[in-house]
Each structure stands twice: as structure tokens, then as C-alpha cells.
Structure 1
Amino acid sequence: MNIENIKARKSVRTYNEENISPEILEKIGEFIKKADNPFNIPIELRLLDANEHRLSSPVIIGAKKYVAGKYKKQINGEVAFGYSFEKFVLYATEIGLGTVWIAGTMDRKAFESAMDIKEGEIMPAVTPIGYKADKRSIRENIMRKAIKADSRINFDKLFFKNDFNTALNENEAGKWLIPLQMVRWAPSGVNRQPWRVVVEGDKIYFYEKRTKGYERDNVGDAQKIDLGIALCHFDIATREIGLKGHFYQDNPNIATPENTEYIATFGLGK
């Protein structure tokens, strides 16, 4: 995975009838065995056949294969899942397959049965995999327009310098500019973009800005999953441009706005 995969990847809800070759399916099977994340939380991903398991989603057309994931409920589980699952999504992009994160609009009972969900386990999301159709369906075009899928919150509303009172603009971002741009373009549930980031020298603090009225249900805090996606993008970008660092838990002495929760720190040389 690289920055070009992040830039190229778009949600695909309409697929053609072309089958994925056994060779590609084998590559996917090998990749999903290595679903890692900075929190070292085990994430199990499975390749599922839509016909065999009777899998469906009212927003998906033409998908024959899905990848779903699960984990045992625990602290940072949602963030870890978001990181690991997005890493697969970007791998799928790299090998020419379309994907889209689906958390609610699916036959959840069928997917959970196919994933053999046990007590204490959570299956937050799935994605179809396949080759995108030449044209999007009318339904997909309506959905993309409704959530403004190709728009993003302004850079200086997402990223801050030293504290939440000082906005960071792109001209001041320095070595962090490209990784932060990749965070900004990360996908999120209903395009809410709940990540907020404070840059303090060689430390980057990631926060979740919870959306008011955003429901939490038995799949966990969906917006923490979005933070995991953002961390994945940031990590890939820093590695590609040669910034060597790691994610870890910290206790930043930064006053936070309402409904804002610290998630993780990225530090150089850690």
C-alpha cells in the first residue's frame, strides 16, 4: 500500500459480473491472515462467498465476494479494527478491486452467521470486493450526492498547532503535510470526518470529535473505527516519505473541546 492507493481508492457499490480469479482470491486469503495494527489487537478477516452464505446489502449491486472482520470487544478494539480493515481495503485497491465500507446497510444476521460470531465478539463492518461496473447505479449516485462523498472539511478545521485554539494551515504543516492530507481524505461513516489532530513538534496527537446524536450500538463506537482508518492512512504516508515513528498511548496535557476524546499519539523516533 502507498499514497497513490489512498488517492486512487473510491467507494464502489456497483459491480460487474466478472469473477475474481482463483489466483487473486489466493492472494487475498494470504493477505488477510496478516491483519496487523499498532495496538497489537487480533483482528480476524474472512473471505466470504455471497451465494454460499446468502449475503446481501440493499446498497450493493453485483457483488459475488465479501470480506468481513471481527474482534473481541476490548479497549481500542474499534480503532484497531479500522486500521486493519482499511489496510486490506487499500490492498484491494492496489490489486485492482473495488470496495466500500458497509456497517449498517446489510443483512447483518447472515454476515454474523458466516463469521461465526461468538459472545464478546464484534463484527463492525464488511466490504464487497470485485470489479466496478462501467457506470454507477442511480441509487449509488444519489447516495454519494447525499453524503457529499467527494468533499472534505477544510484543513485548518481538522488540524491544530500545539492546542485546539490555534488552527494549522497547510503552509505551516512542514514535514507533516502529506500524512495529514492523507488523513483528511480518509473515508468515514456518512462522511462525518470525526478526526482532529494536534501537531506539537515531533508528536502528533489524534482525537475523536464525536458527532452529536451519533448513535452507538452493538457494533461499538463507529467513529473510533473511522479514527483507525485515519491512523492507517497517516502511518502509510509517513513510512513512504521516510518519517520513522510509532503510535503509542500518551497523556497529552492539552485542553480538549466538548465531545472530543484522545485516541493515540504518533511520535518520531519512538
Structure 2
Amino acid sequence: MKLVELRKSVRTFEERPLSEEDRKEIRDFLECSENPFHVKVEFRFLESLEKNTSLGTYGVIKGATSYLGAMVKEGPMALEALGYEVENLMLFLVSKKIGTCWLGGTFKREDFKEAMVVPEGYLFPAITPVGYEKVEKSLTDRLVRFIAKGNQRKAFEELFFQSSFQESYPREEDDLLSDLLEMVRLGPSASNKQPWRILVEDHGVHFYEKKTPRYSDTFPYDIQRLDLGIAACHFHLGALERNLQGEFITVGAGEKDLPEEMLYRFSYIFK
């Protein structure tokens, strides 16, 4: 929970490379990286990109000289798996005092795609700069943060429900599920849309996507599925920390009277 609370988007970096020690720790972490959806996610360390002026982030990122890109072969749960692993990496980097920022729509994908060497049939939906945060923020950084309203989150009762979507899950003190759901609520998402909705039942919790109409039209995939992976990551890491045993499955919720634009994605079933 502490790392989730500390995580933030860093867009202005000191213009110095990562230390050899930090670079090694990142590589070691990535070698052991995995996700509960059993989908292979591949990372590329892209360094010294300032030498190639054709690569860019539309001015959103300042000072970064290293990036980490993630790609995954198209298939079931591919985007959710990538969202999970990238967020898991970012929480690890928070613990190392290394700044990151989810970039899904604000980078020149074709330019980075060449540096990533993306094979046919793979999706390359996100990158993050990695480096040391600069105290003095750029004007663009402050403007993007204001527009994205990154420090604002939807109310607990708007996101989490029990038995049906007509009844909010009550947030209570000393309640394990309340704590885990709060970790989900604090998660980052594209344009801070928070498309996840969770339905709590006795045997587990079901994750749904509340799609924002036309939001993903400019992409060849539903970019909000990355956000569902982030939600799964926060919930799962909290569950493991609190010893709440369970497993993710992709068919676990019966037919519901779903609100408009709501899609079932996966479930975490308690053991």
C-alpha cells in the first residue's frame, strides 16, 4: 500500500543516465517478471535516446535519456498481462526512487517501434521513461498534470459493488477487501478514466471494464484493457502481501444485467 500511495507520474527528469547499480537491478527484476495470466511480456531497455532526435514524446517528457518499452504477442489477455507487468515494474522502481510515467498515447509509436524491434503480430502499447526526478518541473509537466487531473480519483462507491451493480461495496475499517479495493482505486489509468469496476461475491471478485465510448478508436486495440491489468496488479500484490490466496480465471462471472458499455474481463477466485 505504501508504494501504491507513493507512485506518481514523473515527466521531468535530471539529465543524467541511470547508475550501473540501478540498471543492473532493473535488468535482474525484468528477468524474473511474470504475470498471473501466463502471457509472455517482453521488455526492451532503450538507452541514450537523446542522440536520436527523431524519437519523441510530443514534449511531454523532459530530460529522460532511458526508456523501457513493453510488447506482447496478440492474443487473449495480452494487454491485461502487459499492464500488470509494467505496473509491477513501476512499483518496484518507486522502491528504488526511480521515476516512471505510463505513456500509451503520448509517444511517437512508430519511432520507438523501430528501436524496439517489434515482430509481426506483436502489440507495442506502452513505454515509460526511467530516471531520476528533477525537482523543478517543466511547464509542460505542470500543464499535463493539471489536464489529466492525475491526483484525483473516483469515489470508492463508484467503482466497487457487491452482489449486483445496484449496490456499492461498503468501505470499512479493518476490512481486508476494502484495503485491496482501495489499492485498485489509487491505480493510474489512461487519462485517469479509471475504467475498472469490481463486483464482490462470496467466492471472489470479478473485474469489469467500463468502456469510455470512442476512447480507443485511434488505436488498433482497446487501450483501456491495460488499465484492467494495472487494477489486477494492485489487487494481486496486496492480496499476496495479506496472504489472501486465490487465482485469476477468465471465466468466472455469470450473466449479469450489465450497465451500458460494461464488459466482463476476469475474476480472482478465493482458495
Query: Which position in structure 2 is the counterpart of 1:31?
Result: 29
> 1:247, 1:265 within 8 Å by CA — same for their partners in 2?
yes
Shift in Å at residue 107 of structure 1? Answer: 2.2
- 1:164-184 residue CA offsets vs partner (Å, 9 max, x unmatched): 111112139932011100000
Q: Does 2:53 align with 1:51?
A: no
Provide the C-alpha distance between the structure 2 equivalents of 1:85 and 1:159, rounded to a whole number of angstroms. 24
Identity %: 34
RMSD: 1.6
Q: Deviations over 1:74-104 (max 9, x none)?
A: 1111111100111111111111100000012
Is 1:261 matched up with 2:263? yes
Given residue 224 of structure 2, which amino acid in structure 1 is its aligned partner? Q
Query: 2:32, 2:67 → 1: CA distance?
Result: 17
Per-residue deviation, 1:244: 1.4
- Any gaps of 5 or more consecutive residues in structure 1? none
Moved more, 47-56 or 185-194: 47-56
Query: How many pairs align?
Result: 267
Per-residue deviation, 1:187: 0.2
Q: Among residues 15, 18, 26, which one is paired with 1:17 in the alignment?
A: 15
SS for the counterpart of 2:226 is helix
Q: CA deviation at 1:219?
A: 5.0
After the TM superposition, list the runs of 4 or more consecutive aligned residues in structure 1 that deviate by more than 3 angstroms. Answer: 51-55, 216-219
Of 59-68 and 162-171, the range deviating more from structure 2: 162-171
Q: Report the CA distance between 1:229 and its aligned residue.
A: 0.3
Q: How is 1:65-144 mapped onto 2 (pairs within 5 angstroms)? A: 65-144=66-145
Distance in 1, matches of 2:119 and 2:88, equals: 24
Structure 1 stretch displaced more, 66-75 or 216-225? 216-225
CA contact (8 A) 1:187 1:226 kept: yes
The answer to whether the Cα contact below 8 Å between 1:123 and 1:219 also exists between their aligned partners in 2 is no
How far is the alpha carbon of 1:217 from its aligned partner? 4.2
| TM-fit CA distance, 1:248 | 1.1
**Mean CA deviation greater in 144-153 or 47-56:** 47-56
TM-score, normalization by structure 2: 0.94
Contact 1:194 1:208 in 2 (8 A): yes
User: What secondary structure is seen at the aligned counterpart in 1 of 2:128?
Assistant: strand
Aligned to 2:195: 194
Contact 1:35 1:45 in 2 (8 A): no
Q: Is the 8 A contact 2:210 2:261 kept in 1?
A: yes
Instruction: Spell out the pairing of 1:231-270 with structure 2 (5 A cutoff).
Output: 231-253=232-254, 254-269=256-271
Q: Which amino acid aligns with 2:184?
A: V
Compute the displacement of 1:17 (Å). 2.1
Partner amino acid, structure 2, of 1:51 = E
Amino acid at match of 1:89: M
For 1:9 and 1:195, locate their aligned partners in 2 and report how far apart those are by CA, in whole Å. 19
Of the structure 1 ranges 143-152 and 224-233, higher mean CA displacement relative to structure 2 is found in: 143-152
Please say if residues 66 and 130 of structure 2, whose CA atoms lie closer than 8 Å, have aligned partners that are also in contact: yes
The verdict on how the C-alpha distance between 1:45 and 1:185 changes in structure 2, with shifts beyond 3 A counting, is: same
Using a 3 Å threshold, how does the CA distance of structure 1 residues 172 and 209 change in structure 2: closer, same or farther? farther
Task: Work out whether residues 16 and 65 of structure 2, in 8 Å CA contact, stay in contact via their aligned partners in 1.
Answer: no
Deviates more, 1:67-76 or 1:239-248: 239-248
AA aligned to 2:64 is: A
Cα offset, 1:220, TM superposition: 1.8
Which moves more between the two structures, 87-96 or 44-53?
Answer: 44-53
